[in-house]
Amino acid sequence: MKASKTVSTRSVTTKLMTTASVGALLFGLSAAAQADNWRYAHEEYEGDVQDVFAMAFKEYVEDNSDHTVQVYRFGELGESDDIMEQTQAGILQFVNQSPGFTGALIPEAQIFFVPYLLPTDEETVIEFFNSSTAIHETFPELYAEQGLELLKMYPEGEMVVTLDEPITTPEELRGKNIRTMTNPLLSETYRAFGASPTPLPWGEVYGGLQTNILQGQENPIFWIESGGLYEVSPHLIFTGHGWFTTAMMANQDFYNSLSEDDQQLVRDATEAAYEHILEHISGLADESLEKIQAASDEVTVTRLTEEQIQAFRDRAPQVEERFVELTGERGAALLEQFKQDLEAVQND
């Protein structure tokens, strides 16, 4: 049982390690750059989706060049906001971060948290990421404004809500503190759903659920299993409201300083990692759910019917309106492009 002994102490470990780890990075920055050692940080644990992507990227780079890639997992250099700051400062060359956190930096990235915008069937989601104009043309420009070279956006898994009791209606969420990532639109989503959104960094989630400060949270099922969240929040609700999305990017000054060959190497390694992750996530949710159910007899699984989902979907327009309020004309244009891209995929 990994969570009660390890996850609940990870936030403490994170805080103890961060200062020393970043100091070591700064101390070795010049020498490491000359040695072509590239640093890559992500938000998840060993064996999770972002880690699998990072290790596939590392393997391709090291198999096809003299460069090395050093991968840092969650907690080794701090929380999500820490690794983004380190990437923008040039301490890290690569970072993998969800729009759930990047949304504070790039408000338009919060579009992935408009509920019921993305479909939940895997094949359609993947086709959207492969072909979307918004993904391949609009977002790179938005990330570039923040000194980031967007290399790939990719899906990790359908979002699942965990709670202290099973629910089937928005009314049953009333009064429940639901942990959200620290972006305004996700808070608006759960406010629309009837809950009380509580933005928190990941390191505080397990303890908050364990002490009932929080009554629920959302994550893809593999992360619920990996982080042991089912131990303290055992009722899984499949609401069909979206997929967890993440983005892999580079410090733009670093990327622009690379030779053409090395830029191509980075792009090729990113594509190889992307193809690998699409295979990896296929069936991952079912495998993770089986592990959860084998580990705990307290777990319940509620899959909302179409009629039940509609009650939640009816509340989505107010989140779209809030997205446009937060992002202005650019956000409105992006939302329209998203819908066109999705319609093209669904009508293909």
**Which DSSP string do the residues of 164-221 spell out, in sequence order?**
SS---SGGGGTT-EEEE-S-HHHHHHHHHTTSEEEE--GGGHHHHHHTTS--EEEEEH
Q: 67 CB contacts (<8 Å, ≥6 apart)?
A: 36, 37, 38, 61, 262, 265
* pLDDT confidence bin for 223, thresholds 50/70/90: very high
Give the pLDDT band of residue 216 (cuts 50, 70, 90): very high
pLDDT at 18: 53
pLDDT for the residue 22: 52
Confidence band, pLDDT 50/70/90 cuts, at residue 347:
confident
Give the global pTM. Answer: 0.87
Q: What is the pLDDT of residues 167-201, one digit of tens each?
A: 999 999 999 999 998 888 999 999 999 999 999 98
CATH of 2-346, one of 3.40.50.150, 3.40.190.170, 3.60.21.10, 3.40.50.720: 3.40.190.170
Quote the pLDDT of residue 10: 40
pLDDT tier at 89, thresholds 50, 70, 90? very high
Mean pLDDT to the nearest integer, 149-176: 97
What is the mean pLDDT of the segment spanning 120-147? 95
* CB 241, CB 314: distance < 8 Å: no
256-309 residue pLDDT tens: 999 999 999 999 999 999 999 999 999 999 999 999 999 999 999 999 999 999
Tokens describing residue 325: 């309020």
pLDDT score at 231: 98
Q: What pLDDT score does 26 carry?
A: 54
Helix residue ranges, H only, 28-155: 29-34, 49-63, 80-88, 99-102, 122-131, 133, 139-144
Residue 29: pLDDT over 80: no
Instruction: Work out the number of other CB atoms within 10 angstroms of the CB of residue 193.
Output: 24
